[in-house]
Structure 1
């Protein structure tokens, strides 16, 4: 029963996409808006949090191999295997992210924050698409062999990344720009559309509860976050965190249904 959900892959994909989405959202935000003093103060713990999310996701991917030393064998198909490409891509992404984190703690390297942020975002989102391609290439499984796989992975990155950005802005006692709120609303709509279309392919008989939980978590978490970002009271800070975490659990449930839709079949 546990094997059909592939928890190591669930947490690897969701956490890595969340972290990459955070970097992309923060980098995008800084292209259009200058950081206020309170945001500069809060950015160091925020950056460390993002790094921690990505590192945790990467460790989960190693757990899937059974032993970290077996990661080498995943490279043997380089040039023909999407899995090998993914291993190289995420190794590179982790290196660039580490440099990006470093620029926030070394004063002389601050000018590299945005260039490295852009590079990490481009590489990260490319890695997300590459992850989707691994499952898309399984042609005999319609639940995976659809462009919705790529869109779902990108949707997770956007939804959780922008939600985290809005929480960061609000906890820095700044107003969330209308543009950010609009992009966030579009991300929620994208995720809900993807879920609706994918459920038509996979059906609701096997993992209907997980699919519905993802929908409810996206709506409830999103509505709470949109309501609270206009409030200035610090007493709502914990609820802001909670609303983001609700959406994270929703994406985890959605990813569990994604894997189970195929791996629960015997034989598949």
Structure 2
């Protein structure tokens, strides 16, 4: 349970980044999101980002000395994560301000910059864990997993809020199904690589699949996929209630997967 703050931080931060990119992209492409809705969604993403930052401090031995982490940005992926994620939160706050002031041009520019910074922040987070000392983490699948959490949860969160506001004009189900299929392929690749790896990697796979948490995660994932697949054919299912239920299922799935990511890691 010592790693719970990291679980919460990584999932919420990746959700916030994925949601931000989705809102920015929808705003650029559709131009149909009203000022009030854009402000509500952007502010909710800022809140999620702020919560992620606050929770992450509980993992530190000296939370009030967290600012020192940026001092090693030239050599430390942790410093880069702190720096780029902090910059992303600041830019997302500025983005929300331009929604409040209704300045589309500046909103688009800041959103584009924040999108790049957010992607670098997720990349930096993943690189922290891709170390030879922990075979189960030292794989490109770690990078894929971190970005997939963002892609799975972010668009669905924004789609849910747009559906509640009656302004959803794009097929969120299709985007979500694509991300879930990709996640399933990465999951298969991950466990295949563990089974053919070092003894510590094999043990990590055993610890993961022999725990009930894994099967809850798998169950929520499959149910969410099934519901989204049905919603593709039945447009009446593309509503706030369905998206709320699917979002909760996938949030549970991603949270449990990240929890096991930390709990089952074995050092050399």
Query: Smaller-chain TM-score range?
Result: 0.7 to 0.9
Change beyond 3 A, Cα 1:195–1:176: farther
Q: Is the counterpart of residue 250 in structure 1 residue 253 in structure 2?
A: yes
Aligned with 1:131 (options 109, 117, 125): 125
> Structure 2: which 5+ residue stretches go unaligned?
195-200
TM-score normalised per structure 2: 0.85
Asked whether 1:187 is paired with 2:192, we answer: no
1:197 is matched with: 189
Q: How many residues align?
A: 255
C-alpha displacement of 1:171? 2.2
Distance in 2, matches of 1:155 and 1:239, equals 21
| Structure 1 position 159, deviation (Å) | 0.5
SS at match of 1:104: helix
The equivalent of 1:15 in structure 2 is 12
1:210–1:253 contact (8 Å) kept in structure 2: yes
Q: Which residue of 2 aligns with 1:78?
A: 73
Cα pair 1:12 1:57 within 8 Å, conserved: yes
In the alignment, the residues of structure 1 paired with residue 99 and residue 191 of structure 2 have an alpha-carbon distance, to the nearest angstrom, of 42
**How much has 1:121 moved relative to structure 2?**
1.3
Q: How does 1:46-125 map to 2 (within 5 A)?
A: 46-107=41-102, 109-125=103-119
Of 139, 145, 150, which residue of structure 1 is paired with 2:143? Answer: 150
Cα pair 1:14 1:252 within 8 Å, conserved? yes
Instruction: Kindly indicate whether residue 21 of structure 2 is the aligned counterpart of residue 35 of structure 1.
Output: no
Question: With structure 1 as the length reference, what TM-score do the two structures score?
Answer: 0.85
Q: Is the 8 A contact 1:225 1:244 kept in 2?
A: no
Change (3 A) 1:40 1:167: same
User: Deviation above 4 Å: which 4+ runs of structure 1?
Assistant: 225-229
Q: For structure 1, list consecutive stretches of 5 or more residues without a partner in the other structure.
A: none
Q: CA RMSD in A?
A: 2.3
